[in-house]
């Protein structure tokens, strides 16, 4: 069975597809993702915040079972926890229902632990280029610092789950703790060089469409107007 046939992939919008009625979720417009192998039933959830139980219910209703979590970065609207004066549900609530590996970039592990309260020893750290197998579906982990030190994106079967590194319009902020303007430029250039023109699936719905081919994003997104680091610093006001 070709991977495209057995790939289970769902993009879910906070405040609509899960955490319905949650005003913060509606305002933040986060995307969570369910990725799995239809043949084996294994699946992972990307960035379970607000209402992890809703995401698990959706996955199970589709005949899948959770085998892990992929974390793009540590901000509470992606993993839950407390930061900058607010607290959201997320990883802690998910782990109360099912114990599964939490896959994070090694540079992000202490930040995820600090924000969510999940012990760092309970996280599974990864390096750039590591692969996570979900059934027979292979997901490649790309370290893309800039928004946070250990931000990562996920490449699976012609799809790029980009978190807050790359939106269809713009990119993640670099003025939060751990952000770095120069690192963001390098990460965006790294993604621009990906082969195969993957479809970009961002961490938030900040654009007209919920996804777009990388070639279209490179053509229309202002973050790709800067061709070198000096132009980028000027564009970002750094």
Q: Is residue 208 part of a domain?
A: yes
**Domain assignment of residue 140, given as a range:** 3-233
**Residue 201 — very low, low, confident or very high, per pLDDT cuts 50/70/90?**
very high
Q: What is the predicted pLDDT for the residue at 84?
A: 67
- pLDDT (tens digit per residue) in 100-123: 999 999 999 999 999 999 999 999
Distant-in-sequence, close-in-space partners of 89: CB < 8 Å, separation ≥ 6? 49, 50, 51, 52, 80
pLDDT greater than 60 at residue 214 = yes
Domain membership of residue 238 (yes or no) is no
The token duo for 179 is: 């952000």
Please determine, for residue 83, whether its predicted confidence score (pLDDT) is greater than 90: no
Rounded to an integer, the average pLDDT of 88-103 is 96
For the domain that residue 52 is a member of, what is the CATH number? Answer: 3.60.15.10
pLDDT at position 3 = 56
On whether residue 17 sits in a domain, the answer given is yes
How confident is the prediction for the chain on average, in pLDDT?
96
78 in a structural domain: yes
1 confidence band (pLDDT: 50, 70, 90): very low
pLDDT at position 230, please?
96
User: How many domains in the chain?
Assistant: 1
In a domain, 108, yes or no: yes
Q: What is the pLDDT of residues 162-187, one digit of tens each?
A: 999 999 999 999 999 999 999 999 99
Instruction: Copy the structure tokens of residue 100.
Output: 């599964």
Q: Are residues 99 and 85 in contact, defined by beta-carbon separation less than 8 angstroms? A: no
Residue 5 is predicted with a pLDDT of 86
pLDDT at 238 (0 to 100): 78
């Amino acid at each position: 069975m070709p991977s495209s046939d057995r790939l289970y992939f769902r993009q879910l919008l906070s405040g609509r597809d899960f955490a319905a009625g949650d005003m913060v979720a509606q305002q933040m417009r986060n995307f969570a993702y369910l990725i799995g192998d239809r043949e084996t039933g294994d699946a992972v959830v990307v960035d379970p915040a607000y209402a992890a139980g809703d995401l698990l219910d959706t996955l199970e209703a589709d005949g899948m079972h959770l085998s892990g979590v992929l974390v793009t970065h540590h901000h509470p609207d992606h993993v839950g926890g407390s930061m900058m004066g607010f607290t959201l549900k997320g990883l802690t609530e998910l782990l109360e229902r099912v114990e599964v590996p939490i896959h994070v970039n090694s540079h992000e592990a202490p930040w995820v632990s600090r924000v969510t309260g999940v012990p760092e020893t309970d996280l599974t750290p990864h390096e750039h280029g590591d692969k996570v197998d979900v059934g027979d579906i292979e997901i490649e982990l790309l370290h893309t610092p800039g928004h946070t030190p250990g931000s990562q994106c996920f490449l699976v079967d012609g799809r790029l789950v980009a978190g807050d590194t790359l939106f269809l319009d713009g990119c993640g902020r670099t003025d939060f703790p751990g952000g770095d303007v120069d690192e963001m430029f390098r990460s965006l250039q790294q993604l621009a060089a990906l082969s195969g023109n993957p479809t970009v699936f961002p961490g938030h719905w900040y654009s007209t469409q919920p996804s777009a081919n990388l070639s279209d994003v490179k053509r229309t997104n202002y973050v790709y107007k800067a061709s070198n680091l000096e132009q980028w610093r000027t564009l970002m006001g750094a």
